[in-house]
Amino acid sequence: MRLTRKGFVAWLRSKGSSDMVGMSVTYSSCPLATYLEFVTGEQCGVVSDIWERHLHSGTGPISSKNPAWASAFIKALDTGPSHDVTARHALKLLGENNGN
């Protein structure tokens, strides 16, 4: 599975603008991890350069390199202490805040 900006933005737009889509500075609760868990049906975690899918079989995580846009999103999001992230805020960080 590939992590795509188009898919992530579509998922964010499917939410209400004030809906919480994750938390900053967290491995398995950040907006990208929440989106990936929705898409894969498996627990996922995200750090600056990779995302991991934890298989239900218990065989360990499968890691994939983040695309540049995802790494830039994480860098912009993960400043300061952990906080709730709304769909509106995530879209704004992606430069996709029109229409929401």
Instruction: Fill in the DSSP letter of residue 66.
Output: P
Average pLDDT over residues 84-100: 87
- For the chain, percent of residues with pLDDT exceeding 70: 95
Least confident range from 18-22, 44-48, 86-90, 91-95: namely 44-48
Neighbouring residues of 50: CB distance < 8 A, sequence distance ≥ 6: 63, 64, 65, 66
User: What is the pTM assigned to this prediction?
Assistant: 0.89
pLDDT at 100: 46
- Return mean pLDDT, the chain: 91
> Does 12 score more than 70 pLDDT?
yes
Asked if residue 56 has pLDDT above 90, the reply is: no
- 23-40 pLDDT per residue, tens: 999 999 999 999 999 999
| Mean pLDDT, residues 51-73 | 87
Domain layout of the chain by residue ranges: 5-93
8 in Cβ contact with 72 (< 8 Å): no
CA dihedral sign, ordered 61, 62, 65, 70: negative
Tokens describing residue 5: 């900006």
